[in-house]
Structures are given as structure tokens and as C-alpha cells.
């Protein structure tokens, strides 16, 4: 994925966040899980989850 494509994905993420904030309420739960994982010496999984979501956005945008 190029930087331009990634920027488009992040812009799409922000559009969706603005239009449907309730859909992203789980993000706040993930912050607490991230902090708990770090505190307990575990590698947080947020990066993997976010990368998968960005790949999904890229796929959806390529189709649109």
C-alpha cells in the first residue's frame, strides 16, 4: 500500500467516524485493553486489528 492509498484510507476512517461515532465506541474499550496489555507485559493487538481494518477499507475503496 502506498502512502497516498494509506492516507485515503485514514481519511475514509475519519469520515466514517464522524458520520457514525457510535459504531466506533469499541475504540475506547480497546484503549483500556491496550494499556492493560502493556502493563501486564503483553504485546497489544491493536496494531493487528487496525491494519486489518485499513486493508478492508482499501479493498472497499478499490471497488467503489
Kindly tell me the burial class for residue 9, based on how many C-beta atoms sit within 10 Å of its own C-beta (0-12, 13-18, 19 or more): buried
Please write the tens of the pLDDT for every residue from 35-58: 899 999 998 887 887 888 888 888
Measured CA to CA, the distance from residue 63 to residue 51 in angstroms comes to: 19
Q: What is the pTM of this model?
A: 0.60
**64 has a pLDDT exceeding 70:** no
Domain ranges of the chain: 3-63
Amino acid at each position: 500500500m502506498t502512502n497516498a492509498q494509506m492516507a485515503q484510507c485514514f481519511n475514509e476512517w475519519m469520515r466514517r467516524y464522524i458520520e457514525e461515532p457510535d459504531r466506533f465506541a469499541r475504540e475506547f474499550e480497546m484503549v483500556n485493553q491496550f494499556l492493560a496489555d502493556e502493563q501486564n507485559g503483553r504485546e497489544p493487538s491493536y496494531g493487528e486489528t487496525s491494519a486489518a481494518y485499513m486493508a478492508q477499507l482499501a479493498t472497499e475503496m478499490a471497488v467503489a
